[in-house]
Amino acid sequence: MSTQGYDEELRSERDYVAGLYERLDAERARVKAEFTAALAGTGGTPMERDDQVRASAKQVRRLEVADNGLCFGRLDTLSGDHSYIGRIGLFDERDEYEPVLLDWRAPASRPFYTATAAHPENMRRRRQFHTRGRQVADFTDEVLGRPDAGERGDAALLAAVNAPRGEGMRDIVATIQAEQDRIIRLDHPGVVVIEGGPGTGKTVVALHRVAYLLYTQRERMERHGVLVVGPNPAFLNHIGRVLPSLGESDVVFTTTGGFVPGLRVTAEDGPEAVRLKGSLKILDVLAAAIADRQTLPDDPLPITLGGVTVRIDAETAEWARDEARKSGQPHNEARAVFTEIVTYVLTERAIGRIGRGWLKRSDRDTWERVRGDLLKELADDEVFTAALDELWPVLTPQELLAQLYSSPARLRAAGADPALGRADGEAWTVSDAPLLDELVDLLGRDKADDRAAERERKAQAEFAAGVLDGLVGRQDSMDDEDHLYATDLLFAEDLADRFVESDTRDLVERATADRDWTYRHVVVDEAQELSEMDWRVLMRRCPGRSFTVVGDLAQRRSPAGATSWGAVLDRYVPDRWVYRSLTVNYRTPAEIMAVAAALLAEFAPGVQPPESVRACGVQPWSRLVTEDGTAAAIEEFVRDEAGREGTSVVIGPPGVPGTVPASETKGLEYDAVLVVEPERILAEGPRGAAELYVALTRATQRLGVLHRGPLPQALAGLAESGTPVQAGLG
């Protein structure tokens, strides 16, 4: 294209995109007006008004995020037609709602990501816009179907991967590659495993797949939402902008420590405790720990009843315990069975003594009347309640587990490994979360509390209904001079409706607060780190077994993590999971990946490293430092990077000031990385090599290594440098 022709095309494209923004603004104004009207609306029930407000608010959010990069490309067909591709779809209501902008997830948009020179899919050209704010700055064209045409749209892709990193992960909606698009649009109802080495984009592909599923299956998915599970809060903050930027907000983000609402993690388990808690064998320990709390009295427990003394002896308690266990109910709910049998025995014995000489069993009416009086007496008897609490206590998951951990005797009784013991039973760890979640089902609810809450709700509803009935009755009996204002009736109706099942919280708020919430789809990132118990929790959260699982077995560091995907999934979905791999590294430049690949070959020789799509021109370096010189070298790196655009991090083993462990950087990326004492990272922890591999592959531009001891053999290819300045970092 000539310079004049390009300029004319650019003006034309700018005019078209400006027109799209005019439509966006008009649509946004219309939806905001609907939202305002819904907020002030008086028609319909409160539930209907709440639904309308939520629906309008969701539309407002969808249109707000579309402002940045609304249109990012154009597809031209062999017949001369063309379509514009963007974040959302826009239509021309004057022309039978013809699309003027295709949503990137629409089937007609797919060739924008998949058409290649070898397989043009009836497309002649792919045009990609580069925008600043609302204006098209320039564009690049890729002509399809010619032998010398490129297959990847490298100009836009390389501009994206070379750009300095910001505070969070960016969406890749404008630069999705064919390999990634095939996974994003994969039509599979079960579990999709996406495995890829560092920098292959597996996380962002999984998030775009969620956006695609919400677009194509919105009615099925949006009422229950999507759960995204990540390795740590920093990672969740990093990825948290991607789905909102694509217009999707019905998504809950959590770590495995967030499985239990309100749980505060304050400690970290050692490797052996992690392994023990992550194994399904811990289920036997939990069951035994509960059984250990269902006790028999060493000596008969005296209860005064109807003026006589009766006793709960071991034989009675054992009968009640056996029947309660055979009921199959959770522990707290089975207490009712235990209580019923103990109560029966005590009242029978008391009636026998009270009625000795005058009351026979054949006189059923009198017998039952006396029993009724005794039952009322027992219900208020604190000694009897204390005896029940001793023999069959109501337990919470936190109470049971804390007392188990802090008592060597209880650990022995439950057949648990002493490695589970700790002085502070309530110093919760991430590995405790799936155990506490399991105990919710094993223990069950306290039925007495549930009944009290239900009685209170019914009383409130009856009061509200009474107010309404009273006002209506008052209106019927009024003289002509009396007046009952409409606001009186409206107040009464609102009061009554308040106690109908109505919840004005949005989906994320409701799902986060509800342990029993189930999701239509679950994304699991860094899935190789999850234990068998973690997976058990997730399967409960998604009965439909619809998952996108993201991971890299070569990066596993947890002793309770996955050794193979089949070992994890065949237990739950033996015939409903598929495996897909990503092979191209878009993050790590070839110079750095060569160093990481040498390490990978040592600890995972059968794993093929991903192929880097680019080089950065800066060689990674190493530097020998003394103990006293480590802090100064770290300060020099931090000071130097502070003057550059982008992000940086210092990664090191535990105990080195100014560093963070590699585990806290999983899934994250930085322009520059300094790895401190790799020899100690290799030597410490159950998966030191995997830890170092993670550390080496976080950088997108620059990598430096500080070592005090001999440089590990796998890193021998690093150029030794006297100062970072000479290595290109200054």
Collapsing DSSP to helix, strand or coil, 8 comes out as helix
Two tokens at 595?
Answer: 């160093």
Tokens of 540: 């409960």
DSSP code string of 529-574: G--HHHHHHHHHH-TT--EEEEE-GGG---TTS-S-HHHHHTTT-T
Beta strand ranges found along 569-647 (DSSP E): 577-582, 584-585, 611-612, 621-624
Angle separating helix axes 46-65 and 3-40, nearest 10 degrees: 160
| One-letter amino acid for residue 200 of the chain | T
Task: Measure Cα distances from 208 to 67, 205, 529, 672 in Å.
Answer: 18, 5, 22, 27
What pairing do the DSSP bridges indicate for beta strands 670-676 and 699-707?
parallel
Task: Say whether 139 sits in a helix, a strand or coil.
Answer: strand
Q: Say how far apart CA 176 and CA 172 lie, in whole Å.
A: 6
Dist. CA 527–CA 681, nearest whole Å: 22
Binding residues for ATP: 196-203
* Binding site listing: 196-203
CB-based contact 121:115 (threshold 8 Å) = yes
At CB < 8 A and 24+ separation, what contacts does 410-418 make? 410/289, 410/292, 413/288, 413/289, 413/292, 414/285, 414/286, 414/288, 414/289, 414/292, 415/284, 415/285, 415/288, 416/276, 416/285, 416/288, 416/289, 417/272, 417/276
Contacts of 720 (CB under 8 A, 6+ apart): 621, 622, 623, 624, 711
Which residues neighbour 45 within 8 Å (Cβ) at sequence distance 6 or greater?
Answer: 497, 500
For the CA atoms of 602, 604, 609, 615, what is the dihedral angle to 10 degrees? Answer: -30
Distance in angstroms (rounded) separating the CA atoms of residues 497 and 314: 52
Three-state SS string across 270-289, please? CHHHHHHHHCCCHHHHHHHH
CA–centroid distance for 357 within its chain: 69
For residue 449, what are the CA distances in angstroms to 377, 446, 453?
A: 21, 6, 6
